[in-house]
Amino acid sequence: ELVLTQSPATLSVSPGERATLSCRASQSGSSNLAWYQQKPGQPPRLLIYGASTRATGIPARFSGSGSGTEFTLTISSLQSEDFAVYYCQQYNNWPSFGQGTKLEIK
Amino acid sequence: QVQLQESGPGLVKPSETLSLTCTVSGGSITSFYWSWIRQPPGKGLEWIAYRYYTGITSYNPSLKSRVTISIDTSKNQFSLKLSSVTAADTAVYYCATGYTDFDHWGQGTLVTVSS
């Protein structure tokens, strides 16, 4: 069974700074890694798929990278609307989600 | 732009069957894979199942014995049934498009399991 581990659990960053979120997979082999943003009371929003492709309408300050078992979501200059919970998700026989990283204002 | 809307009872008794429907607008039910995903209050996301209109289906192994996902092409809807529910099944249930990733989501519906 694929397990995705996100770190850190909580990340405190000031607006305008860069945020780097990590996702580690327990098994290698799939580049079908996606990232989602979720705000309170809202469904998740797809940000990145295929590890590095931005979804439709996603600002360029969001970027994804990585392969194998190590993946990263970078937000280059944090805006107020970016503070939220972020989930990674991978498909390997079936879809699995990480436990989430809460990005909070420092 | 495809839009999804979940509907169904917000309260289900323990041991009974949870039944939800997702109505699709702005797109055809034959154009996508369709998934159900849930999120217990204050917790993370769990994929439940997906189906394609041709009958291709996959279930989360941890829920497989209790879950059925179906599609009604005449109504542009797909549905979820989860049997023998317990309090651990209390969650916001989302319908979504896709299976390798999920790019359109419904707003979600909270289902509480309680007597």
Say if the Cβ atoms of B107 and A94 lie within 8 Å: no
Residue B99 DSSP class: S
- Bridge partners (DSSP) of residue A64 are A73
Q: Which of B44, B100, B101 sits opposite A99 (nearest CB)?
A: B44
Please say if the pLDDT value at position A29 is more than 70: no
Mean pLDDT (chain B) is: 97
Q: Nearest to residue A1, comparing CAs of A87, A92, A69? A: A92
Give me the pLDDT at residue A92, please: 87
Give me the pLDDT at residue A28, please: 83
Q: Retrieve residue B2's tokens.
A: 């495809």
- Residue of chain B minimizing CA distance to A91: B100
Distance CA B56, CA B33 (A): 9
User: How many Cβ contacts (< 8 angstroms) between chains A and B?
Assistant: 56
- For residue B101, list chain A residues with Cβ-Cβ distance below 8 A: 32, 34, 46, 49, 89, 91
Q: Where are the alpha helices (DSSP H) in chain B?
A: none
pLDDT digits (tens, 9 = 90+) for B52-99: 999 999 999 999 999 999 999 999 999 999 999 999 999 999 999 999
To the nearest whole Å, the CA of A69 is away from the closest chain B CA by: 17
- For residue A43, list chain B residues with Cβ-Cβ distance below 8 A: 94, 96, 105-108
Please report, for residues A99, B52, B70, B73, B108, the alpha-carbon distance to residue B24 in angstroms, rounded to integers and kept in the order given: 29, 14, 14, 10, 13
DSSP per-residue letters across B48-66 = EEEE-TTS-EEE-TTTGGG
To the nearest whole Å, the CA of A99 is away from the closest chain B CA by: 6
> Out of A24-33, A45-54, B2-11, which region has the weakest mean confidence (pLDDT)?
A24-33
pLDDT digits (tens, 9 = 90+) for A80-89: 999 999 999 9
Q: Nearest to residue B43, comparing CAs of B90, B86, B111? A: B90
Strands (E), chain B: 3-7, 11-12, 18-25, 34-39, 46-51, 57-59, 67-72, 77-82, 91-97, 109-113
- For residue A98, list chain B residues with Cβ-Cβ distance below 8 A: 44
The residue among B1 and A38 whose pLDDT is bigger is A38
